[in-house]
Amino acid sequence: MAKRDFYEVLGLSKGATAEEIKKAYRKMAIKYHPDKNPDNKEAEDKFKEAAEAYEVLSNPEKKERYDRFGHQGVGGNAGYGGGGMNMDDIFSQFGDVFGGGGGGFESFFGGGGGGGRRMRKGTNLRVKLKVNLKEVANGVEKKIKVKRHVVADGVSFKTCNTCQGQGQIKKVVNTMLGQMVSASTCPACGGTGQIIDKKPDHADAKGLMLKEEVIPINIPAGVADGMQLSLSGKGNETPGGVAGDLLIVIEEIEHDLLQRDGNNVVYDLYVSFIDAALGAHIEVPTIESKVKIKLEPGTQSGKILRLKGKGIKDLNGYGRGDELIHVNVWTPRQLSKEEKDMLESLRTSENFIPDPSNSEKSFFDKMKEFF
């Protein structure tokens, strides 16, 4: 099922301000909170969907990528619905939205999703991945080596005696409004509810070891320089929790001859005055290989030729761009005496006197026509 637009999820327009985004999420979170909708799968899904939308739109960097590239710009279909999200991750957002720690929001509803130990998440890893223009145009699968912390073989855990496996220490406080329960993270286990029982010598104090893995990464066609993709669960592991994410930052390698302009590529073709005047068949480079094009007699400098479908596949699947060939008529810098005499004899010829007709378009008109 296709993921809904994040602005649509929160009932906002694309130009919504940060305060409007926060206000809309607060309203959705209260409406669909699990404690208000027990055993309601649809409400739980909407609760998670709203949390995912807020997580992206409340972050200026992620919001900018989402506005430009859609869901692919913030990790495709990865996210809360993709397996890397749990309810504790969602509750961790509430400090910003509801003006305090997660406990304040939980107390408001009387429990915060049933309480229990906090599921921790390992740290994220970030790597840069270089891709060339051909890989950008068509998409590619690459394999990269990543060193990440994983739980070592032979490590065993036992229930934390301090919190009895709950991950929290709860206290009852008497106030003017009655008794209120406050919860804090267990200092002994860090909120996991478990502590190390046995560990091998090669594991660190947390039971982790550094492991090198080869991870396949599917790069979709149409990615751009600086775009960040996300692989859920491929970051560092943490005992008693879920692994962080692997963040892949795209670094686009410039082509020697072609320049990217959105989904189009541009090539500057330099031709001699003879070829421009008489016409010629000329070989030009494309993303894939080379093709021959026909230059019509009388071609003017500045003319733009189009090779349909020779550009880059759209990131969101809306077709493919073109290759635009910008024709430049080359003027020789040095001439021999014989060449000068030949050209001088043609100086007064009517065919060599510029005479643009009304049908001749300016450079800016041509560019507007193409873009």
Provide the 10 A C-beta neighbour count for residue 273.
Answer: 13
How far, rounded to the nearest angstrom, does the alpha carbon of residue 171 sit from its chain's CA centroid?
43
8 A C-beta contact, residue 207 and residue 192: no
147, two tokens: 């060193």
Q: How far is CA 242 from CA 83, 86, 91, 192, 208, in A?
A: 10, 9, 16, 11, 13
d(CA 185, CA 169): 6
Q: What's the chain's length in residues?
A: 371
Backbone angles phi, psi at 74, to 5 degrees: -120, 30
Tokens of 279: 């016409």
* Feature table: binding site: 160, 163, 186, 189
Centre a 10 Å sphere on the Cβ of residue 302 and count the other Cβ atoms it contains: 15
**Binding region for Zn(2+):** 160, 163, 186, 189
